[in-house]
């Protein structure tokens, strides 16, 4: 369960733009988000989203986070994402994706999208993702310093500097490849890392791994981590989930 007070601590001064063509979903989600963000503007399609986004820039302001559906009339979420990144390559964007829209995910990853939320929306998951994004940025737009210690749960931590995984202060043995895999996924907590990205990282260190071996590595590593800490996004890649 997300801690509302903690979420508010990071989101109460932030603004969010929400693009979703399903009227009821847009209204309900907007009402929930308004409880946490300073301002939430919602629109029904990508064209309107881009117009509102540009209008805010003309006023000398910007949105801290953009939340968008993939399939929308007039302009889809992929095209909207491309255009937003042309304006601001560092814009934080979260994409809502239905189960039958997996073909859109890889192009979005290539554009730099870090966060996907599956439909129907699990609002606890959505708020957790928004908390993670909000923690990384403050109102000046600068990135906060990320601690080397990754907290999977209250007593379960991984230190990126020492490469040590602890459960209740007891060290858990990690193989060389498990350490390298964690290094990739903990660079940006919550980001989805594709098989191609993981293979490239290993290759840069003169190590060899293929997608099939990645699956085996994930299976073994899951047994050493708390439940749901290591998530597989079907056909896309993997990401680490923390407190």
Task: Report the C-alpha gap between 28 and 110 in whole angstroms.
Answer: 31
Residues 6+ apart with CB under 8 A from 152: 158, 225, 226, 229, 241, 242, 243
Buried b / exposed e along 18-38 (16+ C-beta atoms within 10 A): bbbbeeebbeebbeebeebbe
Q: Average pLDDT of 94-120?
A: 75
Instruction: Tell me what pLDDT residue 99 has.
Output: 58
Helix (H), strand (E), coil (C) string for 135-193:
HHECCCCCECCCCCEEEEECCEEEECCCCEEEECCEEECCCHHHHHHHHHHCCCCCCCE
- Provide the β-strand partners of residue 69: 96
Start-end of CATH 1.10.10.10 domains in the chain: 149-240
Task: Report the C-alpha gap between 66 and 58 in whole angstroms.
Answer: 17
Q: pLDDT tens digit string along 12-35?
A: 889 999 999 999 999 999 999 999
Task: Report the C-alpha gap between 71 and 131 in whole angstroms.
Answer: 25
CATH class, domain 149-240, is: mainly alpha
Instruction: Tell me what pLDDT residue 140 has.
Output: 38
Start-end of CATH 3.40.50.2300 domains in the chain: 4-136
Q: How confident is the model at residue 101 (pLDDT cuts 50, 70, 90)?
A: low
Q: List Cβ<8 Å contacts ≥24 apart for 80-83.
A: 80/19, 80/46, 80/49, 80/50, 81/108, 81/111, 81/113, 82/111, 83/50
Reported pTM: 0.62
Q: pLDDT tens digit string along 208-234?
A: 998 889 999 999 999 999 988 898 877
Instruction: Tell me what pLDDT residue 137 has.
Output: 64
Which CATH number does 4-136 carry? 3.40.50.2300
What phi and psi values does residue 218 have, to the nearest 5 degrees? -65, -45
């Amino acid at each position: 369960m997300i801690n509302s007070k903690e979420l508010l601590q990071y989101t109460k001064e932030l603004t969010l733009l929400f693009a979703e063509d399903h009227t009821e979903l847009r209204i309900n989600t907007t009402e929930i988000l308004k409880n946490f963000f300073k301002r939430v503007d919602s629109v029904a399609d990508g064209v309107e989203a881009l117009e509102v986004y540009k209008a805010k820039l003309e006023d000398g302001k910007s949105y801290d986070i953009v939340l968008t559906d993939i399939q929308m009339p007039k302009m889809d979420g992929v095209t909207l994402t491309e255009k937003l990144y042309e304006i601001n390559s560092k814009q934080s964007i979260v994409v809502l994706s239905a189960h039958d829209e997996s073909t859109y995910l890889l192009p979005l990853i290539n554009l730099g999208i870090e966060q996907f939320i599956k439909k129907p929306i699990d609002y606890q998951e959505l708020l957790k993702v928004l908390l993670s994004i909000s923690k990384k940025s403050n109102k000046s737009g600068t990135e906060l310093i990320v601690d080397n210690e990754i907290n999977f749960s209250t007593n379960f931590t991984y230190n990126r500097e020492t490469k040590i995984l602890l459960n209740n202060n007891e060290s858990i043995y990690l193989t060389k490849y498990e350490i390298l895999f964690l290094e990739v996924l903990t660079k940006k907590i919550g980001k989805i890392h594709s098989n191609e990205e993981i293979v490239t990282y290993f290759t840069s260190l003169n190590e060899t791994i293929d997608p099939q071996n990645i699956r085996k590595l994930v299976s073994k590593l899951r047994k050493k981590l708390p439940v749901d800490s290591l998530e597989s996004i079907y056909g896309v890649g993997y990401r680490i989930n923390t407190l």
